[in-house]
Amino acid sequence: MIYTVTFNPAIDYVVRLDRPLEVGEVNRAKGEDCVLGGKGINVSGVLAELGCRSTALGFVAGETGAWLERGLAAQGITTDFIHLAQGMTRINVKIKAGQETELNGAGPDIPESAMEQLEAQLDQLAEGDILILAGSIPSSLPQTTYERLLARLEGHGVHAVVDATRDLLVNVLQYHPFLIKPNNHELGEIVGRTLTTDAEITAAARTLQEKGARNVLVSMAGDGALLLDEKGRSPPHRHPQGQGGQQRGRRRQHGGRLCGGLPAQRQLSGGPPAGHCLRQRHRIQPRAGKEGNDRCPVGDDLRDRRKQGEENTMRITELFTAQSIALDEAQQDRSQIIDRLVELQATHGNIKDKEAYKNGPLRPRRRRLDLCG
């Protein structure tokens, strides 16, 4: 199971103006959106879009916290937030008027008793579970909070993924996180030099591996991403086709758009279609759904096959844990790869009827899904 942690969730109130903002005057909005977020919540949103289950953990407070929970539930995201007695989940105001002006809320104070509740939740994680810590630490908590949580989980077989900046990231390397995800600029700040080529980025990522990280994934906005795995390999990465500037400008929007309690699928006030920003970020080629809407091909494909009555069909992502994935470069033939995959899943108790599974979800497809641009 995958768990994400967001210490300071937010409702982003995005206001669009058709003229420059006039300070001290009444400004009328051309349109507005409400975006539910926080880095960990964004991860859960992407996983839900891809048909992969996760549970979003963290802290909420007040009526805004309850509204955020309802909105995430409407998107199919499972949550298990801790409810704080004081304060309110923050609202961030984003004014887009040529230049963007932001007014970010502080969020509620998180007392020690609430942190102990979170630790009790994390104590229930089992070996092979994945814990994703993403984003900044609120001012009411010490900057050593990530270290505190990873130290508690050390030796439990939980695979930690950390998406944080500078000292927050560097200080957790001693706990050997399974994956860290700096961007290329953050990585440059950590190593103290500007990184411009893949070779320079790979060398800097290797420095973080030497300090304890197992896998390093470096995002590069419109230029794709670079992975350095725990065996020191860096698979070729593909540069996206499109406008990188648009991707960077939409980095905070993940397709989880709600306003006034309306479901995310509804387009609001001239904004982009629901899911548009998510596909921009993850480079999934859209295809037409049954109503003609753009849909994620992974989720659509699995839902379509369920409707066709295939009893052996299940989400592939439900089978895979860190222990049951193997990369064997010696096996190039498709049938060999399938045989190896099925044997591995059977070994870990994920499937019982190996032949039925080979002839079901893993049988040759009639058409090819192009998931990446």
Asked whether residue 265 is domain-assigned, the answer is no
| Position 333 in a domain | no
Supply the range of the domain harboring residue 64: 2-244
Residue range 181-229, pLDDT digits in tens: 998 998 999 988 888 888 889 999 999 999 999 999 998 888 888 898 8
pLDDT in tens, 1-48: 999 999 999 999 999 999 999 999 999 999 999 999 899 999 999 999
Residue 272, domain member (yes or no) = no
Within-domain flag for 41: yes
Domain presence at residue 292: no
| DSSP reduced 3-state for 58 | strand
209 inside domain: yes
Q: Which residues contact 260 (CB under 8 A, 6 or more apart)?
A: 34
Whether 156 is covered by a domain: the verdict is: yes
DSSP one-letter string for 90-135: EEEEEEEESEEEEE--------HHHHHHHHHHHTTPPTT-EEEEES
Average pLDDT over residues 78-84: 95
Q: pLDDT (tens digit, 9 = 90+) per residue, 266-304?
A: 223 333 333 333 323 333 333 333 343 433 443 444 344
Strands 2-6 and 54-61 come out as parallel
Which of 46, 49, 58, 48 lies closest to 4 in space, CA to CA?
A: 58
Give the model confidence (pLDDT) of 220-232 as tens digits: 888 888 898 888 8
Distance CA 176, CA 179 (A): 9
Domain count, the chain: 1
Whole-model pTM above 0.75?
no
- CATH code, domain carrying 195: 3.40.1190.20
With respect to residue 310, please indicate whether it lies within any of the assigned structural domains.
no
